[in-house]
């Protein structure tokens, strides 16, 4: 037997809670940059208290674009385990700006050198399935065939399935194929980390996530999927000739299929996300005058433990020690 060591996910959730509490003040105010900035500032302050020697692998910008959390930035106290860090202070900045559901704050963490460092690629094709339907995963199979196999694995009919797809022009053909197969669809304007989470979480009505989304979001999703036992297949999918040529010039194999295990090459991974705006899956921040309530999802990859955490924050006490003004 192996004695349990520190569960860093329970430290990470303090980071995502802080970001959610700060950014939710901008819900529906039409200013996505200020909402994102509030989350970044709160996240950076919270990272300073974590006993890790962290380096951001998946961030929001380069150093000269600070105060964003940039790739290569060091976070943590500088003491403790050396780790790669993936962050998205606000996944769904437009969702936050326009008061739409499912904006979340997200952090993933894994041992140093184990996270996939994306080349200059902004998009990747993705297929996400729960653990029970992992054998149905095939990026090159017709979508109808994949859905039929997934339904059989899950003990459902195809018309029982719900498929998460981003509502983008590039997915018009995918939507037609899903409808032709007889499955149902949830179309979301943004948020494919949330889509991946919903596909692998048994509480969610979503069974499958299909489509092209962000490459950084793929790495963040892999942090969660490694913990839940789900299956993720990805392939870089440049959306412009210039992006494609950059990748080819860099020697990138555009036919290579990546999995959750190649995106995060160690099971000792940690993941935390906190809701900003309420959705059917994770509730958003609820302010109550003297405090607030948050809901978070926390995953530890090594044990496969998934926790749903509801936290009550008391302004009178929190403001005595917090460097972030939430009230």
Whether a cis peptide bond, with omega within 30° of 0, leads into 264 is: no
CA dihedral sign of residues 102, 263, 13, 201: positive
Half-sphere exposure of 138 (CA within 13 A, CB side): 13
- 170: annotated binding-site residue? yes
CB atoms within 10 A of CB 319: 13
- 249: annotated binding-site residue? no
Spatial neighbors of 253 by CB under 8 A, at least 6 apart, are none
- 191: annotated binding-site residue? yes
- Cα 19 from Cα 204, distance rounded (Å): 24
Q: Ramachandran region of residue 38, left (φ > 0), alpha (ψ -120 to 50) or beta?
A: alpha
Closest C-alpha among 119, 126, 125 to residue 248? 119
- 305: annotated binding-site residue? no
The residue assigned the tokens 């653990």 is: 131
- 190: annotated binding-site residue? yes
- 48: annotated binding-site residue? no
- 111: annotated binding-site residue? no
Half-sphere exposure of 63 (CA within 13 A, CB side): 4
- 91: annotated binding-site residue? yes
Helix (H, G, I), strand (E, B) or coil at 13: helix
- 64: annotated binding-site residue? no
DSSP secondary structure of 164-199: EEE--GGGHHHHHHHHHHT-EEEEESS-HHHHHHHH
- 168: annotated binding-site residue? yes
- 192: annotated binding-site residue? yes
Strand partners, 84: 55, 110
DSSP secondary structure of 100-166: -S--EEEEEEEETT-B----S--EEEEEEE-GGGGGG--TTS-HHHHHHHHHHHHT--GGG-EEEEE
**What residues are designated binding site for Mn(2+)?**
36, 60, 88, 91, 217
**What residues are designated binding site?**
36, 60, 88, 91-93, 123, 168-170, 190-192, 214, 217
**What residues are designated binding site for substrate?**
91-93, 123, 168-170, 190-192, 214
């Amino acid at each position: 037997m192996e004695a349990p060591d520190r569960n860093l996910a329970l430290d990470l959730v303090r980071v995502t809670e802080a970001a959610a509490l700060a950014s939710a003040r901008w819900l529906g105010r039409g200013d996505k940059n200020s909402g994102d900035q509030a989350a970044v500032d709160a996240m950076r302050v919270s990272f300073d208290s974590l006993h890790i020697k962290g380096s951001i692998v998946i961030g929001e910008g380069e150093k000269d674009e600070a105060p964003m959390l940039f790739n290569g930035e060091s976070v943590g106290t500088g003491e403790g385990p050396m780790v790669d860090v993936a962050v998205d202070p606000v996944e769904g900045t437009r969702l936050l700006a326009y008061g739409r559901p499912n904006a979340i704050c997200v952090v993933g963490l894994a041992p140093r050198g184990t996270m996939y460092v994306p080349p200059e690629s902004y998009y990747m094709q993705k297929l996400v399935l729960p653990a029970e339907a992992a054998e149905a995963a095939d990026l090159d199979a017709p979508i109808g065939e994949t859905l039929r196999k997934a339904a059989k694995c899950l003990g459902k009919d195809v018309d029982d399935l719900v498929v998460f797809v981003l509502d983008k022009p590039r997915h018009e053909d995918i939507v037609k194929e899903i409808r032709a197969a007889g499955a149902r669809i949830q179309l979301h304007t943004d948020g494919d980390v949330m889509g991946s989470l919903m596909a692998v979480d048994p509480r969610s009505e979503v069974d499958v996530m299909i489509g092209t989304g962000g490459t950084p979001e793929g790495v963040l999703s892999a942090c969660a999927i490694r913990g839940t036992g789900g299956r993720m297949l990805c392939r870089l999918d440049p959306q412009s000739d210039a992006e494609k040529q950059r990748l080819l010039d860099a020697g990138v194999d555009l036919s290579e299929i990546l999995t959750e295990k190649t995106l995060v090459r160690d099971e000792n991974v940690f993941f935390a996300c906190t809701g900003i705006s309420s959705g059917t899956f994770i509730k958003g921040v609820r302010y109550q005058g003297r405090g607030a309530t948050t809901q978070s999802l926390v995953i530890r990859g090594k044990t496969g433990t998934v926790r749903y955490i509801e936290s009550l924050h008391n302004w009178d006490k929190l403001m005595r020690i917090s460097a972030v003004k939430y009230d």
